[in-house]
C-alpha cells in the first residue's frame, strides 16, 4: 500500500473547517440578536393588565442546532396569543369582576368564590342589578363593595403578540444572512 500525503488537500480542508466555524459563529450571533429582538417585540405587543404575561415572556437558545424559542409558561398565554372561548368549568356561569378594585381584590383572594364567601358569612348579600340582569352586586353594610358581570361564556380575541415577534425576527435573520454573504 502506498501512502501519500496531499498537503494541498489538507490545507484546503483546514481552511474549509475554519470558514465553517466562522460561519457557524456568525449565525449564532444572528440567532441571539434575532431572539432578543423577538422577545422585545413580543413583550411590547403582549396584552398588559398587571404585567404578569409580559414579564413571563422569555427565551431559550440552542446554539448547537441554531434554534430558539420565545414564549411564556403561563396558562393564559396561549389563549391570549391565539384567542379562545372561555366557559365555566365548575360554576353555572362565569363571574367577571367589574373594575380594577374588584379585580384586584378577587386576584388577591384567588377566586371570586374566595372573595365573596367571607362577606356572605358576615351578612353581605348578592343582588342582581335592576338595570342589567347579568350584573351582580355584592352589598355589605349598605354599600356596594364589588360588582361582577355574569355570562355563560366569553371570547378572548387573539392578540398574536408572539406571531408578530416571529415575523420580525425572521425578517431580521433573512436580512442579516444576505448581508453576511455579501461580504
- Residues 133-143: tens digit of each pLDDT: 999 999 999 99
Per-residue pLDDT, 98: 96
Which residues, in sequence order, are CB contacts of 158 under 8 Å at separation 6+?
80, 81, 82, 83
The helix-helix angle for 7-45 and 161-182 (nearest 10°) equals 150
Per-residue pLDDT, 183: 65
Q: pTM of this prediction? A: 0.76
Which residues, in sequence order, are CB contacts of 78 under 8 Å at separation 6+?
84
- Counting beta carbons within 10 angstroms of the beta carbon of residue 156, is it exposed (0 to 12), middle (13 to 18) or buried (19 or more)? middle
Q: Please report, rounded to a whole number, the percentage of residues in the chain having pLDDT higher than 70.
A: 95
- Residues 24-72: tens digit of each pLDDT: 899 999 999 999 999 999 999 999 988 899 999 999 999 889 999 999 9
Residue 181 cell numbers, joined: 454573504
Amino acid at each position: 500500500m502506498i501512502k501519500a500525503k496531499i498537503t494541498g488537500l489538507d490545507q484546503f480542508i483546514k481552511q474549509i473547517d475554519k470558514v465553517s466555524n466562522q460561519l457557524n459563529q456568525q449565525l449564532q450571533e444572528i440567532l441571539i440578536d434575532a431572539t432578543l429582538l423577538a422577545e422585545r417585540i413580543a413583550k411590547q405587543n403582549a396584552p398588559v393588565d398587571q404585567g404578569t404575561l409580559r414579564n413571563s415572556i422569555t427565551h431559550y437558545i440552542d446554539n448547537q442546532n441554531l434554534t430558539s424559542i420565545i414564549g411564556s409558561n403561563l396558562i393564559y398565554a396561549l389563549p391570549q396569543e391565539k384567542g379562545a372561548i372561555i366557559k365555566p368549568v365548575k360554576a353555572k356561569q362565569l363571574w367577571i369582576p367589574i373594575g380594577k378594585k374588584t379585580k384586584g381584590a378577587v386576584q388577591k383572594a384567588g377566586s371570586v368564590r374566595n372573595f365573596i364567601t367571607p362577606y356572605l358569612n358576615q351578612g353581605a348579600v348578592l343582588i342582581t342589578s335592576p338595570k342589567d340582569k347579568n350584573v351582580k352586586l355584592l352589598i355589605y353594610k349598605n354599600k356596594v363593595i364589588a360588582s361582577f358581570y355574569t355570562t355563560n361564556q366569553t371570547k378572548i380575541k387573539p392578540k398574536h403578540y408572539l406571531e408578530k415577534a416571529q415575523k420580525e425576527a425572521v425578517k431580521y435573520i433573512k436580512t442579516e444572512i444576505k448581508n453576511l454573504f455579501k461580504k
